């Protein structure tokens, strides 16, 4: 597949397609959920819409479309592969108690094949096959069989929830074949099937005791990762090669020589840090600030593996500005750089202290550090476990 569509054009095509079908565009929220929300960051397009999925009338009506920035730390260890990003944008459409799942899937299929020009023979879907609490999703199965798209039935992979309790439901995921030859196997059998779009039939609420009750209305919530779709439509091998990352790929390699996985990690974590800072978070030892701190420290650890003189002071302004613009954030790029540099200095001081403490006879022997040592280093010297193990692997 090789389309000339830029990420901006993909967004416009998506939004207009749904507007033509009676949806109103909601302005995306920041990465920070409202106070009282148990989750640190907005993790999906539906997240800010939770009260409306639970029955509160939305001021813009029952059909919505949106582009929402999201942050997922659950995928942090997978960043560096070809499909995961920490901060990403999610395109979404919603039926708040209006049309049902098959309509949503049918429109989705139309947009992918007619709107974006995807060859339908490269699609595979998964559908909820039922468990002891809920029956199989036969409506979705019928729709896909009518359209001639191959279906795989699964249980756990086709149940979506945002946590152990709250709104949830069976989903149908659409996968695109990314292998060189003709499609083979099924989405759970071959990871060259890449998930591009999830349609969730959000009609249940899970209670504390694990039981399910119906939500006041039957919703459909769909989410599609923008950078992943862009890279696939643009015929690129990884999310880091879609046009959104063009300036990163142009400016980072001459600055820091890195192998491809490290380049991806550094690019992802830097871009994510800029967005998080742009939404008002500052590094700290708890909550959102701690996530930011971990992002910066992880990327510095990778940068310094080959050359400890590398500094975020060399980060080109263009990359900060490009990211703030992409996410429509108004912060002065100078402030972002200052926050990053300040955190870098703090990390340098901590590493120096860590090296000094670890050179003491108590820690120098061939034995592995005990749990007690790790607690002591943390509580007495403020040295986090990850950092100690980075300096003195077990
Ligand atoms: N909530 C679903 C997801 O995040 C669809 O938006 O995948």
From the CA of 200, give the closest atom in ligand 1: 5
Is 81 a residue whose pLDDT tops 90?
Answer: no
The secondary structure element, H or E, covering residue 93 is strand 87-95
* pLDDT given at position 387: 74
Query: Tokens representing 100?
Result: 């049902």
* pLDDT given at position 393: 63
Distance (Å, whole) CA 365 – CA 363: 6
* pLDDT given at position 11: 97
From the CA of 92, give the closest atom in ligand 1: 6
Pocket test for ligand 1, best of 88, 198, 224 (most atoms within 8 A of CB): 198
DSSP-based helix, strand, coil % in the chain, nearest 5 = 45, 15, 40
* pTM for this entry: 0.89
Confidence of residue 143 (pLDDT cuts 50, 70, 90): very high
* pLDDT given at position 34: 83
* pLDDT given at position 380: 85
- For ligand 1, atom 3, the nearest C-alpha belongs to 223
Mean pLDDT of 307-313: 94
Q: Ligand 1 centre from 287 Cα, in Å?
A: 23
- For ligand 1, atom 2, the nearest C-alpha belongs to 223
Could you give the dihedral angle defined by the CA atoms of residues 109, 239, 233 and 118, in that order, rounded to the nearest 10 degrees?
A: -30
Distance (Å, whole) CA 13 – CA 118: 14
- For ligand 1, atom 5, the nearest C-alpha belongs to 223
Q: Ligand 1 centre from 6 Cα, in Å?
A: 23
Q: Ligand 1 centre from 200 Cα, in Å?
A: 7
Is 335 a residue whose pLDDT tops 70?
Answer: yes
Q: Ligand 1 centre from 161 Cα, in Å?
A: 8
Pocket of ligand 1 (CB under 6 A): 44-46, 92, 160, 198, 200, 221-223
Share of the chain above pLDDT 70, in %: 97
Query: Tokens representing 184?
Result: 């083979």
């Amino acid at each position: 597949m090789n389309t000339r569509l830029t990420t901006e054009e993909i967004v416009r095509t998506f939004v207009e397609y749904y507007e033509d079908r009676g949806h109103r565009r909601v302005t995306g929220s920041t990465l920070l959920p409202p106070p009282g929300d148990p989750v640190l960051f907005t993790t999906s397009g539906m997240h800010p819409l939770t009260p409306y999925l639970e029955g509160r009338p939305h001021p813009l009506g029952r059909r919505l479309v949106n582009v929402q920035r999201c942050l997922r730390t659950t995928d942090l260890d997978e960043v560096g592969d070809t499909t995961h990003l920490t901060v990403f944008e999610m395109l979404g459409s919603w039926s708040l108690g209006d049309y049902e799942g098959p309509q949503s899937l049918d429109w989705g299929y139309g947009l992918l094949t007619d709107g974006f020009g995807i060859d339908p023979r490269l699609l595979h879907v998964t559908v909820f096959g039922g468990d002891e609490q809920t029956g199989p999703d036969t409506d979705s199965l019928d729709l896909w069989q009518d359209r001639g798209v191959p279906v795989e039935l699964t249980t756990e992979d086709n149940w979506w929830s945002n946590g152990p309790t709250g709104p949830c439901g069976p989903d149908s995921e659409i996968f695109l074949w990314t292998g060189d030859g003709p499609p083979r196997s099924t989405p759970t059998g071959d990871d060259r099937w890449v998930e591009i779009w999830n349609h969730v039939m959000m009609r249940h609420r899970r209670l504390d005791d694990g039981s399910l009750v119906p939500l006041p209305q039957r919703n459909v919530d769909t989410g599609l990762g923008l950078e992943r779709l862009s890279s696939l439509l643009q015929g690129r091998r990884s999310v880091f090669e879609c046009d959104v990352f063009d300036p990163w790929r142009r400016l980072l390699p001459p600055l820091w020589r890195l192998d491809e996985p490290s380049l991806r990690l550094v690019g992802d974590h830097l871009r994510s840090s800029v967005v998080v800072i742009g939404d008002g978070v500052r590094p700290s030892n708890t909550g959102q600030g701690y996530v930011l701190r971990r992002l910066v420290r992880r990327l510095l650890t990778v940068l310094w593996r080959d050359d400890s003189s590398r500094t975020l002071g060399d980060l080109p302004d263009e990359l900060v500005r490009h990211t703030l613009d992409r996410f429509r954030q108004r912060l002065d790029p100078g402030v972002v750089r200052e926050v990053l540099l300040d955190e870098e200095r703090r990390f340098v001081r901590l590493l120096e202290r860590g090296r000094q403490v670890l050179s003491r006879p108590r820690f120098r022997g061939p034995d592995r550090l005990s749990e007690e040592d790790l607690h002591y280093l943390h509580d007495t010297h403020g040295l986090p476990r990850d950092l100690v193990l980075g300096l003195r692997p077990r």
